[in-house]
Amino acid sequence: MSDDFENIVQWDVHTDAITPQSEVKDPLSQFSEETLLSPSLPHNDTNNINVTLTESPTSPHFPKSPLTSHSKAQLPNNNQNGHTFMHNQSDNMPELSTMTIVIDDPKKHQDPTAGTYVTYLITTTTTLETFRNNGQPCSVRRRFQDFVWLHNTLTMEYPACIVPPLPDKHRLEYIKGDRFSFEFITKRKLSLQWFMNRISRHPILQCSQSTRIFLESNDFRNDKRAQSTYVPPTTSLINSIGDTLVNAFVKLKKPDEKFEEMKDIVNRLEDNLNIIERLYLRINKRQRDLQRDYTSFANSIQGLSALETSIRNSLHQFAETCKAYSKVMKEMSEKEELLFLNEIHELIAYCHAAKDVLKARDQKQLDFEELSRYLDQAVLEKERILHPRFSDRGNITEYVADKINEVRGISMQQAKREKLARLEKKIDELQNEVLRTSDESAEFSSQVVEEFSLFQKTKLLELKQGLLAYADCHIDFFQKGMDIWEKILPVLESIDSEKGDGEVTM
């Protein structure tokens, strides 16, 4: 029985509590580089980062998000509430609709009950029919806890989707300082922008009712509470079986090579990203050490000017040049951390999300395999009772049970009939569960295949953005550095070996 079911297993699932579905072609086929990387991606303008955290007229200025999301899709057809599954087809993803999400203008709030928190202005422009402002910008304010709600809700609604991860709530590993500092909020805002970009580029998640509520609801507290009632609980007979059959120590009997290869790809990607992160941090440390050395060098030149009075002005201007060069070097390091290192961190977290979905797929297959094993055991036990063999007489457990029944005055035939009735009921339940888990795990795996394709495309896009941002940081640094050093050349060339620099000024 289990072999028959295992042979028909094909894996795919799509779930949405109240969001409909549709069938379309390649979900990212409508992307062009101009669409994906405009209008304000890091490689286009690493300097144009201006947004304010508003608390008072003297509040500091925060960078604008260097990333905005753009994508295309079509609203899926209506389906029933609860977990729904998509058929195993190559074109089972809905199309991407145009969706632009910009996170901007962080504001700090003081609340007597909720304490101090920061909200972000989220402006969405989309052609999705489910949004009330079809094609027109819609702006709402959300705090970090609201992003957490969206992430958790999407994870429950779409267990087979690779839901983008969120940054840590209380700290980011690459940030030093309090959570209301300029640096922390800037980096968190950028991470939240990447989170929303990934959702807007996902043909299923962008159509979710939870996403719509998050992006346009004016009564978010009540709407999100109502939406939570649509998220269906997951129930299974396997949860009620008194055995530790589903745990981290149980291995799949028949692992699928396709998904094993996916795990290997994600693991190798994560390993390489960790190496890149470690090497970049080493490079960045050297850059910062060099920047501090230039500052010390400038101070030393300034001290020399007090001794060499004949060329005091030239030495002073040379010291100022070194300080300016040190400053642009520091700016380069900070921009690299913001636009490149953060991108690497987000990709590593994205790998973790992909691994979680692959583990969930394995769990679906494991549920099916273990239920099939229980079904086989129940069928064999029924056959043994109906057609006992001589070898069965050596079963000490059955012998003791028979003796206990004799002491209780229960006839052997009556006990046999009762046991057969219980087995029939158990077999019927297990057969239904095996069929259900077979279909569910097959559909889950098919959806995971689609998700992995999206994961690969998103990975390439974000790697491209990060590397372009890194290159732009260096280009900008060297251009500024060249301008700085060119300005000091006339000053140095004007020094006379006898008269010194006179009154030369830059």
Alpha-carbon distance of 361 to 355, in angstroms, equals 10
Q: Do residues 134 and 146 touch, judged by C-beta distance below 8 A?
A: no
Which pLDDT belongs to residue 95?
Answer: 66
**Paired tokens of 425:** 């009921």
254-264 per-position pLDDT tens digit: 888 899 999 99
- Would you kindly state where each structural domain of the chain is located, as residue ranges? 2-237+274-371+436-493
Helices (H), 71-181: 144-157
Query: How many C-beta neighbours within 10 Å does residue 25 have?
Result: 11
What does the pLDDT average to over 390-413?
60
Return the higher-pLDDT residue of 45 and 396: 396
Task: Find, among 328, 170, 359, 342, the residue nearest to 262 by Cα.
Answer: 359
Instruction: Give residue-wise pLDDT tens across range 116-172.
Output: 888 999 999 988 888 887 778 889 999 999 999 999 999 999 999 999 999 876 554
Q: What are the structure tokens assigned to 222, written together?
A: 């009540």
Measure the CA–CA gap between 75 and 131, rounded to whole angstroms.
10
**pLDDT digit string, tens, across residues 347-382:** 999 999 999 999 998 888 888 888 888 888 888 888
Predicted local distance difference test score (pLDDT) of residue 96: 63
Q: Which two tokens stand for residue 57?
A: 């007229």
Residue labelled with tokens 């079809």: 134
> Which residues touch 25 (CB under 8 Å, ≥6 apart)?
91, 93, 95
Residue 249 has what pLDDT? 60
Q: Higher pLDDT residue, 454 or 168?
A: 454
Which pLDDT does position 408 carry in this prediction?
65
The per-residue pLDDT for 47 is 41
Higher-confidence residue of 428 and 46: namely 428
Higher pLDDT, 89 or 189: 189
* Residues in contact with 423: Cβ distance below 8 Å, sequence separation at least 6, in sequence order: 378, 381, 382, 385
Q: What is the CA radius of gyration of the chain?
A: 32
What's the half-sphere exposure (Cβ side, CA atoms, 13 Å) at 263?
A: 13
pLDDT of residue 228: 73
| pLDDT value of residue 402 | 61
Determine the Cα–Cα distance for residues 426 and 241; give it in Å rounded to an integer: 11
pLDDT of 314 over the 60 cut? yes
Residue 232: asked if its preceding bond is cis (omega within 30°), the reply is: no
Top pLDDT among 292 and 421 is at 292
Say which DSSP state 73 is in.
Answer: B
Q: pLDDT above 90 covers what percent of the chain?
A: 37
Confidence of residue 384 (pLDDT cuts 50, 70, 90): confident
Mean pLDDT of the chain: 76
Please report, rounded to a whole number, the percentage of residues in the chain having pLDDT higher than 70.
69
Q: How far is residue 219's CA from residue 225's CA, in Å, rounded to a whole number? A: 10
> What's the rounded Cα separation, in Å, for the pair 322 and 488?
10
Residue-level pLDDT at 161: 93
Element (H, E) at 118: strand 115-126
Q: Residue 173: its pLDDT value, please? A: 42
